[in-house]
Chain A
Amino acid sequence: GAGVSQSPSNKVTEKGKDVELRCDPISGHTALYWYRQSLGQGLEFLIYFQGNSAPDKSGLPSDRFSAERTGGSVSTLTIQRTQQEDSAVYLCASSLDGGRSSYEQYFGPGTRLTVT
């Protein structure tokens, strides 16, 4: 079956512009996660959705970052007024149910964001 897909695969934007990153999770997966991977760093948790609600958004680095999920499926991560330090690979993952940490997370290929 289809895996997690993300778009765009690459995004170059000017400092100060807004960007939207999209994630299509595996069909039937109720849990969805966003992570950020900066060069030479480990994955950094951003936000977790269970269905359309976000019980944990503690990883969002500032109020310029927001995310939503509609229909229990597609999610969009929005970064407003982008800064150069936002440059990173943004990874999305989904799992059957976020209520159990033993469920495997399946990752998408990521969106490489470059802010110039």
Chain B
Amino acid sequence: KNQVEQSPQSLIILEGKNCTLQCNYTVSPFSNLRWYKQDTGRGPVSLTIMTFSENTKSNGRYTATLDADTKQSSLHITASQLSDSASYICVVSKTYGGSQGNLIFGKGTKLSVKP
């Protein structure tokens, strides 16, 4: 069964600290993996997209890693800010091209950054 599991479900950290969010997937065949940030009451916004051959991709203070062998990805947030408080969603695309119904979404990790 194609699944995307994220951990932890929720996380509270102090402003300025680093954190790492995890994503494990069993989606096959694999095309790409995205991390989205979703602020409360808003639609998700893409942070990174990684294909099979990419191990690391950065976007400012966000760094995503991908291990296609173990089917694991992580999102590392450096020097957290209050504005990082949001849900972070891992999304795996099942195929290259074809039906877009093949996006498999994780349930997200809810991050709260406290002052």
Contacts and interface: CB of A to CB of B under 8 A. Distances in A.
Interface of A: 4, 31, 33, 40-45, 48, 55-56, 58-59, 91, 93, 95, 98-102, 104-110
B41 A109 contact: yes
Contact of B31 (A33, A43, A101, A105): A101
A7 to B, nearest CB: 14
By secondary structure, the A interface counts as loop
A61 to B, nearest CB: 13
Size bracket, chain B contacts: 20 to 34
B43 A108 contact: yes
Interface of B: 4, 31-32, 34, 41-46, 49, 51, 89, 91, 93-103, 105-108
A58 B31 contact: no
B51 A56 contact: no
Given A43-B91, A105-B100, A109-B42, 9 more contacts: A43-B44, A48-B100, A56-B99, A101-B31, A101-B93, A102-B32, A102-B51, A107-B44, A110-B42
